């Protein structure tokens, strides 16, 4: 995800400190997540994480790069609801209660209402996909996410012809999310996708990582991953899904519209106003490691470039 302007908070693009994953927090998150995944019958060839999640590995959509370590993925995060430094989420997210959890579905759809997390997850077999994850701050990871295609979920709600976009909203609860006690952003966090982006098979609703229940600091219990876009599009701790006719005003675009557009497609040819996007630093390789070239659409151009045919991607950034 992106960071706020330096006039509002201290810069957070720093060398990650040696923060080890809190075992008690991991256990609490697993208990809070309860039976996520237990409703799925384990198919032939499935892998079990040992923490209750059962899944198959999807090689069709996975990259052939070695994933970052579990420690990298769970201790270096942007989740401003728990603080603006990369190490704040792992330290502060233990306050989040992920059970019980419900998701409101509303707007231009035939099936709307309030659904428990179990309602949302039950019909969807889980799969593991190893995706590139790229932040607008020019750092990246390779992450083995665990989830199911967002489009499979959205179809259940039978969106009408008026549904041109899908809007997502993060939990707003300053008691659980201490970062929300400060006007860093206009809370709650809101993101959106065009309907064809949301229905694309690469777009994943995520409930786990490395075969384990998703830790709080990574967006438990339900988050989005849109791998060809910068990380701030992949909204965390979702409590509302709205089918809307007009393009949503997503949080970072509202905060700094000249820096963060609605589409947020990874485009090395379009610099952020305060830094270049042409190169990136792979987390885990050291702060002074050689930076690598950023790939158009984060390396997923073959799959998604057709979605933007005829669009000026410098204007629609």
- Residue 246: per-residue pLDDT: 98
Q: Which of 5-9, 124-128, 313-317 has maximum average pLDDT? A: 124-128
Adjacency order of strands within the sheet including 165-170? 113-116, 102-107, 238-244, 165-170, 190-194
Does residue 55 lie within any of the structural domains?
Answer: yes
- Domain that includes residue 108, residue range: 23-307
**pTM for the complete prediction?**
0.85
Does residue 46 lie within any of the structural domains?
Answer: yes
pLDDT in tens, 177-219: 999 999 999 999 999 999 999 999 999 999 999 999 999 999 9
What is the CB-side half-sphere exposure of residue 171 using CA atoms within 13 A?
A: 27
The CATH number of the domain holding residue 292 is 3.90.420.10
pLDDT in tens, 155-177: 999 999 999 999 999 999 999 99
Does residue 5 lie within any of the structural domains?
Answer: no
- Residue 142: per-residue pLDDT: 98
Q: 294 CB contacts (<8 Å, ≥6 apart)? A: 134, 138, 140, 266, 268, 277, 278, 279, 280
267 closest CA partner among 217, 218, 304, 216: 304
When comparing pLDDT for 13 and 72, which is higher? Answer: 72
- Residue 74: per-residue pLDDT: 97
- Residue 52: per-residue pLDDT: 63
Domains held by the chain: number: 1
Does residue 3 lie within any of the structural domains?
Answer: no
- The rounded distance, in Å, linking the Cα atoms of 131 and 141 is 8
Does residue 315 lie within any of the structural domains?
Answer: no
Statement: residue 138 has pLDDT above 80: yes
Does residue 14 lie within any of the structural domains?
Answer: no
pLDDT in tens, 220-249: 999 999 999 999 999 999 999 999 999 999
């Amino acid at each position: 995800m992106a960071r706020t302007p330096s006039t509002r908070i201290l810069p957070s693009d720093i060398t990650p400190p040696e923060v080890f994953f809190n075992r008690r927090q991991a256990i609490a998150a697993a208990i809070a997540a309860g039976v996520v995944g237990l409703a799925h019958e384990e198919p032939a060839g499935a892998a079990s994480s040992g923490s209750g999640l059962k899944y198959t590995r999807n090689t069709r959509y996975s990259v052939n790069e070695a994933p970052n370590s579990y420690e990298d993925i769970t201790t270096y995060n942007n989740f401003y609801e728990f603080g603006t430094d990369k190490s704040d989420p792992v330290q502060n997210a233990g306050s989040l209660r992920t059970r019980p959890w419900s998701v409101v579905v509303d707007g231009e759809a035939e099936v709307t209402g309030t659904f428990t997390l179990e309602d949302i997850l039950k019909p969807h077999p889980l799969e593991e996909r190893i995706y590139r994850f790229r932040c607008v701050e020019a750092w990246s990871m390779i992450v083995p996410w665990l989830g199911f295609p967002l489009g499979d979920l959205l179809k259940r709600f039978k969106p009408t012809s008026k549904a041109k976009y899908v809007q997502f909203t993060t939990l707003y609860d300053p008691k659980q999310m201490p970062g929300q006690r400060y006007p860093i952003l206009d809370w709650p966090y809101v993101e959106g996708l065009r309907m064809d982006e949301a229905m694309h098979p690469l777009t994943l609703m995520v409930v786990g990582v490395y075969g384990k229940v998703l830790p709080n600091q990574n967006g438990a219990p339900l988050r989005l991953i849109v791998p060809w876009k910068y990380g701030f599009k992949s909204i965390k701790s979702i409590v509302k899904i709205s089918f809307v006719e007009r393009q949503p005003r997503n949080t970072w675009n509202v905060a700094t519209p000249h820096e963060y557009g609605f589409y947020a497609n990874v485009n090395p040819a379009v610099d952020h106003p305060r830094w270049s996007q042409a190169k990136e630093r792979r987390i885990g390789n050291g702060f002074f490691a050689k930076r690598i070239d950023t790939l158009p659409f984060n390396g997923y151009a073959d799959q998604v470039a057709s979605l933007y045919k005829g669009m000026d991607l410098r204007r629609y950034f």
